[in-house]
Amino acid sequence: MSCFHKRPKRTKSEEQAFLEHLKKVAKENGKRLGLEGDSDLQFLLLGGKLVKVRSKSWKHGRYFKLEEDCQTFSHESKKAFKQNHTSLISQLFTHFSIDDIESVRKGRHSEGLKKYTDASVEDLCFSIIFKGRKKNLDLMAESPEDVNKWVSSLEKIINNMHNLSNQKKSEHWIFSCIRKADKNGDNMMTLKEVKHFLRQINVEVDDSYAADLFKKCDTSNSDTLEGEEIKQFYEMLTRREEIDIIYGKYAQTEGQMSDRDLLNFLLNEQREQATAEDAHRLIEKYEVDKTAKQNNCMTKDGFLMYLQQDDGCILNPAHRSVYQDMNQPLNHYYISSSHNTYLMADQLKGPSSTEAYIKALMKSCRCVELDCWDGANGEPVIYHGHTLTSKVLFKDVIKAIKDYAFKTSQYPVILSLENHCTVEQQKLMARHLVFFLGDALVKKPLGDTMPTNFPSPEALKGKFLIKGKRLNKLDSIFTNNNVIEDGTVSEEDEAAEFSDFTFVSLFLFQKSNIKLDKELSDIVIYCKSVHFNSFEHARENQAFYEMSSFKESKAFNLAETSATAFMHHNMDKLSRIYPAGSRTDSSNYNPVPMWNVGCQIVALNFQTNSKEMHLNQGRFLMNGFCGYILKPEFQRNLSSQFNPNALTEGSWLKKKIFHVMVISAQQLPKINKEKQKSIVDPLVKVEIHGVQADNASKETHHIENNGFNPMWNKKFQFDISVPELALVRFLLEDHDTASQNDFIGQYCLPLTSVQNGYRHVPVLNKRGDNISSASLFVHLMLLDAP
């Protein structure tokens, strides 16, 4: 967002007072961030000049600084326009939020810096990478020391912002809104400014309510709020009646919650296997009042702090780290997987980018796809063949994968090659893989004898597996039998299907056989691509390491008509599912039915913000978000006759009743930020996604004109048959009578990771990023069915 930089005309003394006020504001916000007096924060607040790089010819100096709210970054820009035949330069200031930053990268690691700068300036460069599809900000500083200072300072404030308690995030956000409403910057609020502030925080109230609230706080009768009056206004505004009621019920020790009272709450409401030591730990961790802490008591503020942190979150804290058995064979896990990973947008003319691989890997995606074609100057390229999507060098993609594969998870990454290259360029592909990935590339089976099943994710930590065609059997490595099964291989089904669907007439493309290079063939070890004929044929003829890819229509048909056979197939082999070629907009299919039959590599378009990606994020949220989830035992045991479409008695049938009470929400975002008067009318949908019998959705009524603190107190009940396959998704929407409801936020997680009792639910945006100030408050109870 840009705006003309206008400064109000002030006298010298007024200007001095204004600057002192800004220092005070910055100090207050620095304190809230836990960075009071921090030299890195002071460096960012002071700011400095950097060179912004857009192309080889467009490199301009711009002044960057952190605003006094400590969460908004601004940099000057200049825009030329003509007026009365005279060229004028308008100075603009462009702003972005610290919350918008995904990462800060030192060096020439962005595509823009690699393309538009010379290697000699490597240590002068850094990039600010934004969430979503916003373009990177590529920058150059005057010295390597300056680069280090900018990068370390930015990373510190990003980390501190991320690690703030929800209560601090809420406080920081509200006071930022108060300052924005204070139009003349005098640190006082008039009634008009209070009304403006209320609209900013997403609540519409009638004039009499606003006036009454204002009057209660204006104890000085000055017709303005300042200092302690603003603090009182904040406390009245953020009071949580529902928390008052819960706390009052259990605070039985002179108006406070003793350790015994807290233990009573943990046992009876939260249904935790808690002890007196657990109650003491929570008091020590969350209580802010020293006297209360000394008396082993928890005040209401400490109680709210507990409810808003990990211990009071809906997600079981034990599931935030890797807790599952990671020593099972690889095919016993769901594996977070991407389709056409190189694309940033649609399948027809969207850009291809190494950045797309980085974003997917940083989301713990463990299987990425590389569509490889002959490129200029003998260098293979990656793009969506026979389309207008841009191209990116194969070797640049491999470099990026090498650098970012194990930043968020140490478990193995599968490189799924869709190979359309000539033998000459395949040789180069193989050499690039071996050179750049080095010892991390699996080039032979683990151990000294021919394996009979997959190694585990634990055994493959930090390793890369290549999925592709292979000329001979894997045992040739041990027997020296180099008999070639077939000197040619069919082109991957995906490209053929896509071209058949939409480009035959334009490109006269026909399915063809491509010769396979032995060097590339030899590094395909555990993921040899083969054509699927039938489950019976696979059982009798395919080795464990021979895997098939299924387009979604075929996979869904098999899951519907042969669910148990499909599940048995996945007990000793890998299956990869990919979206239909008709999805030219990069839309996605529902991954849940594929997981229900034990498919491991359910590939989705990670670049598309959709319900399907929310479900994928929810599925892989547990187990430390490492990209691998151990399948339920009944999907791993050959004696199992589980059928998700027709449930029978078995170990999978663990009937539960899931009670959900949607109580309230806090500080929901505006849908249309440009329209200050646009206030949301929120409602909540609770969805269950699992086997057919468990799929359900129920919703609350909507609350008019209140996204700040809406309250529903609506109870729902869901009957669950197979809880180990169920996901629960909370969807917040802005009610609209004339058109489809607008998306506000959502959160999805496995039902088996849900904590009982009073819990706060984080709210994520469409991209899956946390909306730091927002939350949903619920009461949950997952009980055995009678």
Give 625-650 pLDDT, tens digit per residue. Answer: 999 999 999 999 999 999 999 999 99
54 is known to lie in a ligand binding site: yes
* Rounded Cα gap, residues 597 and 590, in angstroms: 13
Q: Residue 212: its pLDDT value, please?
A: 83
371 is known to lie in a ligand binding site: yes
Q: Residue 7: its pLDDT value, please?
A: 43
Q: Which residues contact 563 (CB under 8 A, 6 or more apart)?
A: 596, 597, 643, 644, 645
Give 210-223 pLDDT, tens digit per residue. Answer: 788 888 888 888 88
Sorted by where each starts, the structural domains of the chain and their CATH numbers stand as: 2-163 (2.30.29.30), 168-237 (1.10.238.10), 241-312 (1.10.238.10), 330-476+484-635 (3.20.20.190), 656-784 (2.60.40.150)
183 is known to lie in a ligand binding site: no
59 is known to lie in a ligand binding site: yes
**Most distant pair of Cα atoms in the chain: their distance:** 95
Quick check: 157 and 41 in contact, CB under 8 A?
yes
* Rounded Cα gap, residues 702 and 103, in angstroms: 37
Give 319-328 pLDDT, tens digit per residue. Answer: 999 999 999 9
Q: Residue 345: its pLDDT value, please?
A: 82
| pLDDT, mean of each 10-residue run, the chain (786 residues) | 43 66 76 83 92 91 89 71 45 73 90 90 93 86 95 91 75 74 74 82 76 86 84 82 95 94 97 96 93 95 92 96 98 97 84 92 96 94 86 95 96 96 96 98 95 97 97 88 57 50 42 80 96 95 96 96 97 96 90 98 94 98 98 96 95 97 94 68 97 98 93 98 98 93 97 98 94 93 95
Q: Helix, strand, coil proportions of the chain in percent (round to 5)?
A: 35, 25, 40
Crossing angle (nearest 10°) for helices 300-308 and 166-181: 100
| Residue labelled with tokens 């009052």 | 248
705 is known to lie in a ligand binding site: yes
53 is known to lie in a ligand binding site: yes
281 is known to lie in a ligand binding site: no
Q: Is 384 a catalytic residue?
A: yes
Q: Residue 4: its pLDDT value, please?
A: 35
68 is known to lie in a ligand binding site: yes
32 is known to lie in a ligand binding site: no
Quick check: 442 and 465 in contact, CB under 8 A?
yes
65 is known to lie in a ligand binding site: yes
Q: Residue 693: its pLDDT value, please?
A: 97
**One of 109, 319, 332, 339 is an active-site residue; which one?**
339
**One of 172, 319, 384, 568 is an active-site residue; which one?**
384
String of DSSP letters for 693-751: GG-EEEEPPP-TTBSSS-EEEEEEEEEES-GGG-EEEEEEEE--SSSPPEEEEEEEEEG
* Rounded Cα gap, residues 603 and 493, in angstroms: 15
* Rounded Cα gap, residues 756 and 104, in angstroms: 38
Q: Residue 179: its pLDDT value, please?
A: 72
Q: Is 339 a catalytic residue?
A: yes
